[in-house]
Structure 1
Amino acid sequence: SNFADWVNDTTNDINVKLTYRQSQRLFIEHFACRLLPAHGKSAMFSCEAHAKMAVLAAKVRDVVEKNGGIMAGTMEHGGMDCTHVKQYSEGDVNLGDAGGVVGGEPGAADNKCSLDTCEGPLANFKNGRFCADHLDRCLICGIVPCGREIRFPEALTCDDPTHIAWHKQYEDRFRRLSFPGVQRVIRRQMATGENTPHQVRGPSLQVQLQALGDIHGEKVVHRFKAKSTYCLQTIQWACGFPIGWGKCYRSEITPQVLAFINQVWADHPESRPSFVVYDKACDPLRHIVTQNITDLWLTSTKFIVDAWHYIGHQATDVLCRTRCNPAPTDGSQPDLVLTDVDENGVPHQTRAFNTETAEQLNSWLNGFEYQLRQMTDVNYDFYIHVLMMLYGEKVEKRVAAKSRELTQDF
């Protein structure tokens, strides 16, 4: 709608106006024509003529990739800010290269089925709660584990007066919430200390609800609204160029993180980076060591904590301090700490890679969070593919402007 308003404001013809639906179709068709060749899928794509917007978006999404994706050509990407000549101790042969990637998770979540264990998209994205496979749950009371039938069609509870009263109080509490309003409440709670970093992963809305019998209000399990994915997982080269993305459906546990990076490099084992930077890198490293000592990640890649989060890691964690230090000063990781000479001829140590590019990408993606929360699963995937492509082009322009491409001699 903003694009339609912008086009209409810039044209002088007051009799011809671009409608919101026309602007949406223009967006879908334009970026479909850019996404398909960018991912090398133009030859295999087919769609009926004059297809509806939803059909076209779904066709493109299914061809490019569903619920995640890898940027085309990203494994061949290289630049002076993400790929260096490998450093060796004196006497060793100086061959090869060292590359770094950074992983992160912005808060741009996608809506999904209300069942915790289900990852299916909603059958009705306007006001639905369940996926197509679990629509029969609409006939059951939304209070878990009641299990009784709803008192009339489209009701959310059974005829239990306590359930009806609790649902009414719940609706009264959440009916007036808006995205900007939630953000204001979160900022206020953070300022008053109601929401500390030690209690939750990040800022979250703390709501006071009445008890249901002996169950505290916040502990009542219900299915009055759809759930959302936990976060959007991203990984990019240390220069910022995106590699891939995926959806984290539940809490960000170590097996899910490893499954994501394994999926990204499943078809490109020879392109595994020398370093993977992650805010809790010691956790996947510890998991690999204890679960599968023969995992190829142990021989191909070092897991490093980014510089910002490393400050908060425990000094008593020997594995983290000896294996995940982003800038060791004992010379054990010459590929992470380089010696540079400034314009005055004074040598000094500098980090080889920017370990905060994930935070920079996340900050950019969070600017689109409000729009993403209102989308169907198809539009969400399509939009994320577009954003990743645009951000990659943005990074490439910045690299070219600073002449940071790899030389022909590399």
Structure 2
Amino acid sequence: MQSGVLPGQNNLPRRSLHWEKPEVGQPRVPGSARGYVRLAVMDGKKLPHRICAVSICEGPLVNYKNGRFRKDHLDMRSICGIIPSHIPQTGPSLHSELPELNGTAGGNIVHTFRARSTYCLQTVQWSCGCPIGWGKCYRSESSSQVLKIIVRIWELHPDSRPSFLAYDDACNLLRHIVTQNPNSSWIYSTKLIVDAWHYIGHQAADILCRIWCNPAPTNGSQPDLISVSIDDNGRTHTTRSFNTETAEQLNTWLNGYEAKLRQMSDVNYDFSVHVLMLLYKELVEKRAEKKNEDLAEEFWDKVESTDQFPM
């Protein structure tokens, strides 16, 4: 699994601090200084590159012009491309226009007639839009692969994990973490929530999702996710404190590069994605400066000199 972490993004992120809360697991003393809540947003984007045609292989192609196999599987070029006819394998089938074979529909036949593609690009960024890191899912956007990506991004900076992580399938990711390791540090460091757009479509009967992954609970259980605002008529409204759709906005921006990335080798793809993330980071910073949303240096001098705000 390939992934990337943008330099400096696991430190206290400027322009991504939106709210305050007490230290996790400790009651707040009235009048004491408070820390800052950080929310990261994650999403998968169908932005693939080609890989070996063998269904259990994630290796790069030897020939990206018209090749189908990685180096270790080149001997399969002279063997029948219908997988069951020469080698037993398991894995997702490739849907293609093939005739029926021995009662099996053509679209269900596993074959090596063409190279496969990675499943998606997984992007992670702060709620302000600043990218943090990325990773690739090869067969599906499974919870196990997604967990490996976020573990990789924060493995060298466990104390800098976000207070909240918004993800369209956060409830199943939480189930996976609890099932695999009930004592996982992610359970105690980060609250997984479903982003506001996808939460609408989640089943109301899913108790775990409704109780633990609600992006804007109104029962007061997560005051860091809710802000109170007053409109021009003096009426009070509750609003979400964070933008949980920043990953969708980044993915829309990436659409312009999809055609080029699809034809690249794995090395060129990884390099290009990392560069695009850095370029997008610069765009986010310029937009914040233009809107005067960046924080003054005096603020950061105070933060960096206070023990209440660990880096």
- Tell me which interval the TM-score lies in, with the shorter structure as reference length: 0.7 to 0.9
Q: Which residue of 1 aligns with 2:10?
A: 75
Equivalent in the alignment of 2:256: 367
Q: Secondary structure at the match of 1:392?
A: helix
1:276 to 165, 186, 190: 165
TM-score by length of 1: 0.67
> What SS does structure 2 have at the residue aligned with 1:239?
coil
TM-score, with structure 2 as normaliser? 0.87
Match of 2:176 among 271, 287, 303: 287
Partner SS for 2:224: coil
Structure 2 counterpart of 1:131, one-letter code: R
Equivalent in the alignment of 2:210: 321
Unmatched 5+ residue regions in structure 1? Answer: 1-65, 149-204
Task: Select which of 56, 59, 71 maps to 1:120.
Answer: 59
Give yes or no for contact 2:95–2:108 (8 Å, CA) kept in 1.
Answer: no
Residues 94-150 of structure 1: CA deviation (Å, up to 9, x unaligned): 5211100000111110111111211110000011111112111112111112229xx
- Structure 2 distance, partners of 1:91, 1:270, is 22
How big is each residue's C-alpha offset from its partner over 1:11-38, in whole Å with a ceiling of 9 and x where there is no partner?
Answer: xxxxxxxxxxxxxxxxxxxxxxxxxxxx
CA-atom RMSD, angstroms?
2.2
Name the SS of the counterpart of 1:259 in structure 2.
Answer: helix
Letter matched to residue 126 of structure 2: W
| Conservation of the 8 A alpha-carbon contact between 2:64 and 2:264 | yes
Is this contact kept in 1: 2:95–2:107, CA < 8 A? no
Where in structure 2 are the equivalents of 1:226-265 lying within 5 Å? Answer: 226-265=115-154
The answer on whether the counterparts of 2:22 and 2:28 sit within 8 Å (CA) in structure 1 is: no
After TM superposition, give the deviation of residue 68 of structure 1 in Å.
Answer: 2.4
2:102 to 186, 198, 213: 213
AA aligned to 1:133 is D
Q: How do 1:1-150 residues align onto structure 2 when only pairs under 5 Å count?
A: 67-86=2-21, 92=30, 93-147=32-86
Q: Does the Cα contact within 8 Å between 1:81 and 1:404 map onto a contact in 2?
A: no
Larger CA Rg, structure 1 vs 2:
1
The amino acid of 2:8's aligned partner reads G
CA distance, structure 1, for counterparts of residue 11 and residue 294 of structure 2: 13
Q: Give SS of 1:338's match.
A: strand
CA contact under 8 A between 1:79 and 1:239: conserved in structure 2? no
Contact 2:226 2:240 in 1 (8 A): yes
Task: Provide the rounded CA distance (Å) in 1 between the counterparts of 2:295 and 2:177.
Answer: 33
SS of alignment partner, residue 249 of structure 2: helix
Among the aligned pairs, what percent are the same residue?
Answer: 54
Count of residues paired in the alignment: 289
Deviations 1:331-367 (A, max 9, x none): 1100100112345554321111100011111111122
CA displacement at 1:79 relative to structure 2? 4.1
